[in-house]
Structure 1
Amino acid sequence: MNQNPFGVLFDLDGTLLDTAPDLGAALNHVLAIHSLPTLAYEDYRNVASHGAAGLLKLGFKELLDDYDPNTLREQFLTYYNDHLCVDTRMFDGIDRLIRALDERNVPWGIVTNKPGWLTDALLPHFEAFTNCKVVISGDTLDERKPHPLPLIHAGETIRLPADKIYYVGDAERDIQAANAAGMISVLAQYGYIRDEDNINDWEANHIVPTVASLIELLIIR
C-alpha cells in the first residue's frame, strides 16, 4: 500500500448511507396529506440526493406551484426528523471500509448538504462513524456544495493538503466541489445516479461502480 499520508472526505446520503427509504417515506407522507398518489422506492431512490426540494418536485410534478413551498418543506422535514433512521442503512461494505481507514489511521470526515440538525441526529445511529474527524453540514458555513468552501474547510481541519484528500460523492455537485477544491474526486456510482445523468461529463478523477471498488481504490491503492 502507498504509505504517503492521505485523507478521505465523504458525502453522506447516497455515499455512506442509503437514506432513500426514509426520505421517500417522508415524501409519501406529504403526498398522502394532500391526497396525491404515493411513489414506490424505485421511483424516488435516485432522486434522494436532491433532498426535500428534489423529492417534492418529483412527487408533486406540475402541481407543485399550487402549494406553499415552505409548508411542504416543513411537513416533509418534520416527518423525516421523527422517522430519521427507520430503514436507513450503511451501504454494504461501508462498515468494512471505515474500519480499514481507522485501522490505518487515515483521517476521514463527512461533508454533506444535509441540514446540521438532521446530520447531527442521524450520525449517532452508526457506531462505525465514531472516529469521524470532521462533519460539515449544508448550513455549517455560508456556502454549501457545489461551492468548494465546505471541502476546503474540512481539509484544513484534517490538516492535509487538498491533493492528498479523496472526496467521494454521488452527485454532480460533489464532483464540482471536489475538483474546485483541488481534491481527488471520486464518483460513487452505486449511489443515487439518475438515468439521465451524464456522469462521464462530470470529470470525476475516479468512478467507482461499487463499494468494493471504492475499497480497492482507497485501501489497496
Structure 2
Amino acid sequence: MKWRDRELQAVLFDLDGTLVDSAPDLVAAMQRLCLELGAAEPDAAAVRAAVSKGGRAMLRRGLPGLDEPRYEALLPRFLDIYAADIAGLSRPFDGIETLIGAIEARGARWGVVTNKPGWLARPLLERLGWSRRSAALVSGDCLAVRKPDPAPVRHACELAGVAPQHCVYVGDDLRDIEAGRAAGLYTVAAAWGYLDGEDPHAWAADWVAPTAQALQQALQLDT
C-alpha cells in the first residue's frame, strides 16, 4: 500500500456492501414482493450477491426469466417495500463504526458516494446515526450522471472541502474503483462486500482491503 506518504483529509465510501450490510432488508423486500406476485421464493444468496449492482440486478436474480419492461415496472414497488423498513435488519459491517470513529478522531472527514437514490440513502444514514457525522452524501440522483462516472466522487470532495489527491475512495464494485480512480483519489476495493463472484484484485484498485480493520491499520488510524 502506497498511501503512507500522503496527508489524509477524507475517506469516501460506497454505501451498500461497503459501509452497510443492507442485504438482509433488501432480501426481505424481495421475498415480500415475490409473495405479493405469487412467485416462487427468491434465491436469497443470489439476491444478496447482486446488491451492489442495484435494484434491477436484484430483481433479475429474485424473479428470473422476466423481460426488461417487466423489471422496470416492478422496480418502484420493490423499492417502496424496501423503504418501508429500510434499516430493520441492516447493520454496519464489522469494524466500520470503529473505522469512521478513528477517521473523525484524526480530524479527517468521511462521506458517502452511492448510486442509491437520495430518498433511500438519506433515511438509511439517519437510522444508522450517521447523517450529521458525514461530511458529504452524494446519491445516485444528485447529478445527471452516476458512478462509474467520476463526477459524483469529485462532487463529494467539493462538499467535504477536501482535495482529491488527499482522499481515499472505498467500494465493493468495479464501478466504484473506476469512478474513484478517474476522480484522482486513492482507491481501495472492499473485499468484505458483495463481490458477486468477482475478483477485486482484477479491478486495478490501488489496494484491496480484506477487512475494515485492515484498512484502518493501513491508513495509520489505529486508536
Give the shorter-chain TM-score range: over 0.9
Alignment of 1:42-191 (within 5 A): 42-62=45-65, 64-65=66-67, 68-191=70-193
Q: What is the distance in 2 between the residues matched to 1:143 and 1:153?
A: 11
Q: TM-score by structure 1 length?
A: 0.92
Letter in 2 for 1:206: W
Superposed displacement of residue 2, structure 1: 6.8
Letter in 2 for 1:216: Q
Superposed displacement of residue 163, structure 1: 1.5
Cα separation, partners in 2 of 1:129 and 1:217, compared to 1, 3 Å: farther
Q: What is the distance in 2 between the residues matched to 1:46 and 1:143?
A: 24
Secondary structure of the residue aligned to 1:190 is coil
Q: What is the distance in 1 between the residues matched to 2:55 and 2:192?
A: 21
Q: Between 169-178 and 37-46, report the one with greater CA deviation.
A: 37-46
Report if the CA contact (8 A) 1:95-1:128 is conserved.
Answer: no
Could you tell me which residue of structure 1 aligns to residue 23 of structure 2? 20
Structure 1: which 5+ residue stretches go unaligned? Answer: none
Secondary structure of the residue aligned to 2:205 is coil
Q: Quick one: percent identity of the two aligned structures? A: 37
Q: Between 163-172 and 65-74, report the one with greater CA deviation.
A: 65-74
Superposed displacement of residue 70, structure 1: 3.4
CA-to-aligned-CA distance 1:151-207 (integer Å, 9 cap, x gap) = 011112222221211000000110010111111010001000112x13222100010
Report if the CA contact (8 A) 1:13-1:19 is conserved.
Answer: yes
Structure 2: which 5+ residue stretches go unaligned? Answer: none
Secondary structure of the residue aligned to 2:162 is coil
Could you tell me which residue of structure 1 aligns to residue 7 of structure 2? 4
Q: Between 162-171 and 67-76, report the one with greater CA deviation.
A: 67-76
Cα separation, partners in 2 of 1:165 and 1:3, compared to 1, 3 Å: closer
Q: What is the distance in 1 between the residues matched to 2:86 and 2:76?
A: 15
Letter in 2 for 1:168: V
Q: What is the distance in 1 between the residues matched to 2:132 and 2:53?
A: 26
Letter in 1 for 2:157: G
Secondary structure of the residue aligned to 1:130 is coil
Superposed displacement of residue 218, structure 1: 2.3
Q: What is the distance in 2 between the residues matched to 1:79 and 1:39?
A: 15
Select which of 20, 34, 37 maps to 2:37.
Answer: 34
Could you tell me which residue of structure 1 aligns to residue 219 of structure 2? 218
CA-to-aligned-CA distance 1:81-109 (integer Å, 9 cap, x gap) = 10111100011111111111111111111
Q: What is the distance in 2 between the residues matched to 1:47 and 1:33?
A: 21
Secondary structure of the residue aligned to 1:187 is strand
Letter in 1 for 2:48: R
Q: Between 112-121 and 30-39, report the one with greater CA deviation.
A: 30-39
Cα separation, partners in 2 of 1:166 and 1:37, compared to 1, 3 Å: same
Q: TM-score by structure 2 length?
A: 0.91
Q: What is the distance in 1 between the residues matched to 2:220 and 2:149?
A: 28
Secondary structure of the residue aligned to 2:86 is coil
